[in-house]
Amino acid sequence: MPSSSPSLDDIHDLPAYDDFDVVQPDHDAIDTFVPCSDSDSDGEERIWNPSVAESAALLAELGQGHQIQPFSSAGVVFNTSKMFLKHFEMDPFSSFRCTNLYYPFASLNDWEMANFLLQSKMSMAKIDKFLSLSSVCTLPLSFWTAKELQSRIELLPTALRWNYRIIATSYPMKSPAILYFRDSLECIEALFNHLYYADHMMYTPFRVFTSAERVIREFSKWMSGDMAWQMQSKLPLGAMLCSVILSSDKTHITNMCSGKVTHPLLISLTNIKMAVQNKASLHAFLLNALMPVIEFIHPMHRMCSVLEAHLFHECLDIVLQPLKVAAQIGQMMSDPAGNLHHCFTLLAAYIVDTPEACMLACVRGKMSPVMMASHKDFGDAFQHEHHTGVRMLSQLSHIQCDPNDLERYFAQCEEFRLSGVVELFWHYITGTGNFGIMMSSGARTLSAHQNSTSTTLSYTQLLACTISRTVSQH
C-alpha cells in the first residue's frame, strides 16, 4: 500500500512509466490491464483485475493515450458468498415455489388480480365490495376479502424492514418525536449486492492522467479523486472502500392533515457510477429514515430552533450508528457477483441545502458552513480559512459551561458563532473513529453539492422516486 499520495503540486515528481498502465483502445489491453509496480508494504505485488465490462467501459470513456494508476491491494476477494437471488431463495417459503412459482398465490391470474388491487387506491372496504361482485366470484381466486389478501401479501419475501423509536427529550413538545428508520448498513448492503449495479460499480480508487507526460490529472468520477485515495490509504490491507452519500431536506408530507413535516434521509454509495445515480428511476438512492420535525415549547423562541437541531443530530446518530461501527471494524459484504469483501463505510458527502448545511455544521445563521466567514465577509478578495470539524471540536472544548443549561451555553457559543449543539452526529461518540475522523477532515464536503442542481437530479426528484418505490415494495 502506498504510504502517501502525491498531490497536483508535485505531479512532476511522480515515478517512472512502469508505475502506470498505458491504456490503448484495443482488445489486448482488456486482458493486460494490470498495474506494473505498485506493491504492498511487504514487497508483494498484487494484480488488479477489473471485469471485462469495466475495462471496456474505461477504454471507451478515456480514449487513447490515457494512463491509469489503480490503488493496489484494495478490494481483495476473501471468499465467495450468496448472490442476490440466493438471498431471495433463503425465504422460509421458497420450497413451495419449486412447485408453484406464484406462491402464496395459486396462479398467474391470481397474482395479477392481487397486484392490481394492491397498486390501486381502493380502501379495504372497497376491495371487499369489489371481490363480492358476482362476476368476480366466478374467478378462481385464493382470497375473497381484503384481509385475506393482506395476509397472503405478508408471506412474500420482505424488503428492508422499517423500525421506529420514540425519542425522549428534556423539554416539552407539542407532539411525540417518533423516528422511523431502516438499518443503514442493510441499506448499503442492499445497494452493494444489487444485481443491476454489477456493471455500474467501481471497487477501487484510481488516478487518471490524460497524456504520457502525466502532467494533467483527470477527475471524472469520485473514485478518481484524492479524497477516495486518502480514505483507502487509511484502511487495512485488502479492504474495500464503500463510501456513503447522504442527502436530506425538510419536506412537507401532508398539507391537509395537520401539516406533517419531516426530514427524509436518503442514502447511496459513491461506488455506483454517477450516470446511474443521476437517474432517479434507477433507484441508486434508498430512503433510509424519516427524521422528525417537532415543535418544542420554550419561552424563548430562539431556543426552539436549537432544540430542533439537537433532535436532528441525535436522530442522525441513531440511524447512522451501524455505519459508524462498520467504518471502524469493517463489514464483510457480498458484491453482485457473490464475491466477499471487507468493506468500510466512511462518510464521503452529505447533499444538503444551505439551511441544513448550517445545522449539520452547527453554525449560526449568516455564517458560512464551509468557511470561517460571516455575511459581513462575503465579497472579500481573499479566501477565508476552512471551517473544519477539528476546529469546531476545539472551539467546543473551550466552552466552560454545562450544556444542559441551554440559554447560558447558547450565549457562550456566541463567541465562536456556533449553534449550541453539543452531541454532533459525525463525531465519534462511541469510539467509531473512522466515520468521525473522515467527516471532520472533510467537512467541506458537507455542502459540496449545494449548487449541483444543474448537473444532478434535484432532491425532490430523488425523494419522489424513492418514496414511490418504497411504497410499492410494501
pLDDT tens digit sequence for 267-304: 999 999 888 888 888 888 999 999 998 888 888 888 88
Q: Which DSSP string corresponds to 105-130? A: SSSHHHHHHHHHHHHS---HHHHHHH
Residues 266 and 408 in one domain: yes
The pLDDT value recorded for residue 39 is: 37
Nearest to 40 by CA among 86, 79, 72, 68: 72
The pLDDT value recorded for residue 163 is: 92
Q: For the chain, percent helix, then strand, then coil, each to nearest 5?
A: 40, 15, 45
Q: In this predicted model, which residue has the larger pLDDT, 404 or 64?
A: 404
Please indicate, yes or no, if residue 270 is contained in any of the structural domains: yes
Residues 295 and 405 in one domain: yes
Q: Is the pLDDT of residue 40 over 60?
A: no
The region of weakest confidence among 49-58, 249-258, 378-387 is 49-58
pLDDT band at residue 175, thresholds of 50, 70 and 90? confident
Q: How far apart are CA 301 and CA 410, in angstroms?
A: 13
Residues 137 and 255 in one domain: no
Q: Which DSSP string corresponds to 28-57? A: HHHHT---SS-B-TTS-B------HHHHHH
Q: Is the pLDDT of residue 33 over 70?
A: no
The pLDDT value recorded for residue 87 is: 66
Q: How far apart are CA 447 and CA 322, in angstroms?
A: 23
Indicate the average pLDDT of the chain. 76
Please indicate, yes or no, if residue 313 is contained in any of the structural domains: yes
Please indicate, yes or no, if residue 59 is contained in any of the structural domains: no
Q: How far is CA 152 from CA 118, 124, 133, 156, 472, in A?
A: 12, 14, 21, 7, 16
Which of 118, 153, 188 marks a domain boundary? Answer: 153
- Tell me how many domains the chain contains: 2
Residues 314 and 420 in one domain: yes
SS3 379: coil
Q: In this predicted model, which residue has the larger pLDDT, 376 or 443?
A: 376
Q: Is the pLDDT of residue 471 over 60?
A: no
Q: In this predicted model, which residue has the larger pLDDT, 168 or 53?
A: 168
Q: How far apart are CA 240 and CA 205, in angstroms?
A: 9
Residues 96 and 190 in one domain: no
Please indicate, yes or no, if residue 33 is contained in any of the structural domains: no
Which of 115, 131, 153 marks a domain boundary? Answer: 153
* Cell numbers 471487507: residue: 342
The pLDDT value recorded for residue 252 is: 83
The arithmetic mean of pLDDT across residues 40-58, rounded, is: 48
The arithmetic mean of pLDDT across residues 407-423, rounded, is: 88
pLDDT band at residue 321, thresholds of 50, 70 and 90? very high
pLDDT band at residue 88, thresholds of 50, 70 and 90? low
Residues 276 and 363 in one domain: yes
pLDDT band at residue 331, thresholds of 50, 70 and 90? very high
CA torsion sign for 180, 333, 331, 344 is negative
Nearest to 237 by CA among 342, 348, 347, 346: 342
The arithmetic mean of pLDDT across residues 300-327, rounded, is: 90
SS3 215: coil
Please indicate, yes or no, if residue 280 is contained in any of the structural domains: yes
The region of weakest confidence among 39-53, 247-261, 338-352 is 39-53
Q: How far apart are CA 349 and CA 270, in angstroms?
A: 9
Contacts of 208 (CB under 8 A, 6+ apart): 62, 66, 67, 68, 217, 218, 219, 220, 224
The pLDDT value recorded for residue 85 is: 67
Q: How far apart are CA 440 and CA 393, in angstroms?
A: 9
pLDDT digits (tens, 9 = 90+) for 189-228: 999 988 888 888 888 898 888 877 777 888 888 888 898 9
Please indicate, yes or no, if residue 389 is contained in any of the structural domains: yes
pTM, two decimals, is 0.72
Residues 244 and 98 in one domain: no
Residues 431 and 323 in one domain: yes
Contacts of 339 (CB under 8 A, 6+ apart): 77, 80, 81
Q: Is the pLDDT of residue 156 over 70?
A: yes
Q: Is the pLDDT of residue 437 over 50?
A: no
Residues 267 and 416 in one domain: yes
Instruction: Give the CA count within 13 Å in the CB-facing half-sphere of 236.
Output: 12
Q: Which DSSP string corresponds to 237-282? A: TT-EE--EEEEE--EES-SSSTT-EEEEEEEEETTB-HHHHT-GGG
* Domain enclosing residue 135, as ranges: 92-153
Please indicate, yes or no, if residue 364 is contained in any of the structural domains: yes
Q: Is the pLDDT of residue 34 over 50?
A: no
The pLDDT value recorded for residue 113 is: 92
Q: Is the pLDDT of residue 79 over 90?
A: no
Q: How far apart are CA 44 and CA 39, in angstroms?
A: 6
Q: Which amino acid is at 404?
A: N
Please indicate, yes or no, if residue 1 is contained in any of the structural domains: no
Q: How far is CA 48 from CA 35, 74, 322, in A?
A: 7, 8, 30
The pLDDT value recorded for residue 5 is: 36
Residues 325 and 376 in one domain: yes
pLDDT digits (tens, 9 = 90+) for 343-365: 999 998 899 888 888 888 889 88
Which of 135, 153, 171 marks a domain boundary? Answer: 153
Alpha carbon 147 to chain centroid distance?
A: 36
Residues 275 and 327 in one domain: yes
Q: Are strands 162-167 and 177-182 parallel, antiparallel or unpaired?
A: antiparallel
Are the C-beta atoms of 229 and 71 separated by less than 8 Å?
yes
The arithmetic mean of pLDDT across residues 130-141, rounded, is: 90
Instruction: Give the CA count within 13 Å in the CB-facing half-sphere of 159.
Output: 15
Residues 258 and 125 in one domain: no
CA torsion sign for 324, 330, 333, 336 is positive
Q: Is the pLDDT of residue 61 over 80?
A: no
Taken as a whole, the chain contains a residue count of 474
pLDDT digits (tens, 9 = 90+) for 221-253: 888 889 899 999 989 989 999 999 999 988 887
pLDDT digits (tens, 9 = 90+) for 107-116: 999 999 999 9
Q: Which amino acid is at 79?
A: N
Q: Is the pLDDT of residue 47 over 60?
A: no
The pLDDT value recorded for residue 354 is: 86
Q: How far apart are CA 230 and CA 214, in angstroms?
A: 20
